[in-house]
Amino acid sequence: MKEAWKVWKWSPPRILVSGFALIILLGAFLLSLPFASATGVRLPFIDALFTATSATCVTGLVVVDSGTYFSVAGQIILMCLIQLGGLGFMTMATLIALVLRKKISLRERLILQEAMNQTSMEGIVRLIRRVIVYSLSIELIGAALFSARFAFDMPLGKAMFFGAFHSISAFNNAGFDIFGDFRSLTLYTSDPIVNLTAILLVVFGGLGFVVMSDLLEFRKKRKLSLHSKVVLTMTGSLIAVGTLVFFIFEFTNHLTLGSLDWGGKLFSSLFQAVMPRTAGYNSIDLTVLRQATQFLIILLMFIGASPGSTGGGIKTTTFAVLIGAVFSMIRGREDIILFRHRLGKDRIFKALTITMLCLGLVIVVTMLLSMLEDHSFLVILFEATSAFATVGLSLGLTPELSEAGKIIIILTMFAGRLGPLTLAYALGPRAEKELYRHPEGKITIG
């Protein structure tokens, strides 16, 4: 028993899983208290748990309207959960340790390495310092821009609070809004300041902290790492392709882009191409999109953001490896080459494992929800993918979920935020080194 506890104590994946679970439970308890409600009526615990999970896992799916149901205190709790979930509780714990001038132990560095999805502990504390500085600086700038714009529509104090809330929510790719009536950013469909600020916050949050560090040091080093090159290329490509396809699909739809001028069409297309990258905001009503466009959003959500970021999904680098594998096989090459670098087989196996685990999770959740909820298949697939990829976009299913459906989505958001691979490491037995290799066999493929 003592040895089992020792293994749990020293396993970074298990510490991450238990840490996130404790934050969610604490958040659910606080949100279920009367002071968190605008009316003073307790939120049912299952709904409080759903909301706390969505905030901590920076998803954005909501069963009650955040703008009208929660009091200012409740909205502040949501904001804190989003910040904790986006940056990670270990990052915040490291910040406290650095402020108190405490030494970061080897065990804590191992946990940070797992939390930041890094392959080495080298420079991990330095990276965490940069993460904190970059994140708070970007959120502060975003809050100032949002506040300046919202001040034209509401009192200054309220505008500043709205600006801070939506800046933190956007940078952490959470997608929570407090405008009321589940409106998200539909009030600002053609507003360039709100649209561009939200887009930039989401993109910076979704790039990953390693890439942001590389970009800020580019003037000094004059080079980018392979990781940063792949992330930037895939991010730009997905945004460009997503914008173009969304524009083409919805151009004649009078319920979405059809009624907007050219500026509104372009802004809305760009906005909706960026937000499925795990952000969760929408500037137009998603329920009136054509089915082809809704399926496009599902694909973008499944790919998601980049490693070490505030977003979810299988990640842009995983998708890049899969594309590289396809092209290498078509061209008859043995190795996957990206930017004149050969990828190791361990990277390829990990990409395939993550993709299959995530695809399996979405399939299972979709099948379960199809049995429990009386909605069309596409609506349910959309919801399942949104929960897994911690996006927060919905076609209206979330507020109508049954109790069992809520529990399934809660578990899906939790798995999506931590990653199925991390959960597998955390819940499975400790890996042991193989002492022998089996003989090689051949099977027919394709």
**DSSP symbols for 303-323:** H-S-TTSS--SS-HHHHHHHH
State the average pLDDT for the chain.
Answer: 83
Confidence label for 7 from pLDDT (cuts 50, 70 and 90): very low
Res. 100: pLDDT tops 60: no
Alpha carbon of residue 245 to chain centroid: 22
Pick the range with the lowest mean pLDDT from 10-14, 256-260, 263-267, 366-370: 10-14
Structure token digits, residue 249: 């699909």
Pick the range with the lowest mean pLDDT from 2-16, 250-264, 313-327, 353-367: 2-16
The CA distance from 371 to 109, in Å, is 44
What's residue 256's pLDDT?
A: 86
Are 227 and 308 in contact by the 8 Å Cβ rule? The answer is no
Alpha carbon of residue 362 to chain centroid: 15
Structure token digits, residue 151: 């001040």
Residue partners of 99: CB distance under 8 A and separation at least 6: none
Res. 391: pLDDT tops 60: yes
Mean pLDDT of 216-221: 77
What sections of 331-419 are H helices per DSSP? 345-372, 377-388, 403-418
Query: Looking at residue 102, what DSSP letter applies?
Result: P
What's residue 5's pLDDT?
A: 45
Res. 51: pLDDT tops 80: yes
Res. 423: pLDDT tops 70: no
Mean pLDDT of 234-239: 92
pLDDT greater at residue 125 or residue 418: 418
User: What is the pTM (predicted TM-score) of this model?
Assistant: 0.85
Which range, 72-81, 99-108, 177-186, 250-259, has the best average confidence (pLDDT)?
72-81
**What is the percent of the chain with per-residue pLDDT over 70, rounded to a whole number?**
82
The CA distance from 140 to 167, in Å, is 8
What distances in angstroms separate CA 369 from CA 50, 249, 292, 389, 416, one per listed residue? Answer: 16, 28, 21, 16, 17
**Tokens 């996957």 correspond to what residue?**
336
Structure token digits, residue 110: 């191992």
Confidence label for 12 from pLDDT (cuts 50, 70 and 90): low
Res. 176: pLDDT tops 70: yes
What's residue 334's pLDDT?
A: 80
Phi and psi at 282, nearest 5°, equal -140, 140
The CA distance from 282 to 43, in Å, is 26
Residue partners of 292: CB distance under 8 A and separation at least 6: 249
**Tokens 């609070």 correspond to what residue?**
161
Pick the range with the lowest mean pLDDT from 106-110, 187-191, 275-279, 290-294: 106-110
Residue partners of 77: CB distance under 8 A and separation at least 6: 27, 30, 31, 36, 70
End-to-end, the C-alpha distance of the chain in Å comes to 48
The CA distance from 423 to 244, in Å, is 36
Phi and psi at 361, nearest 5°, equal -60, -45
What's residue 426's pLDDT?
A: 55
Phi and psi at 314, nearest 5°, equal -75, -15
The CA distance from 138 to 207, in Å, is 13
Res. 428: pLDDT tops 60: no
- Dump the DSSP string for 72-99: HHHHHHHHHHHHHHHH-HHHHHHHHHHH
Res. 443: pLDDT tops 60: yes
Residues, the chain: 446
Confidence label for 429 from pLDDT (cuts 50, 70 and 90): low
What's residue 97's pLDDT?
A: 52
Are 51 and 78 in contact by the 8 Å Cβ rule? The answer is yes
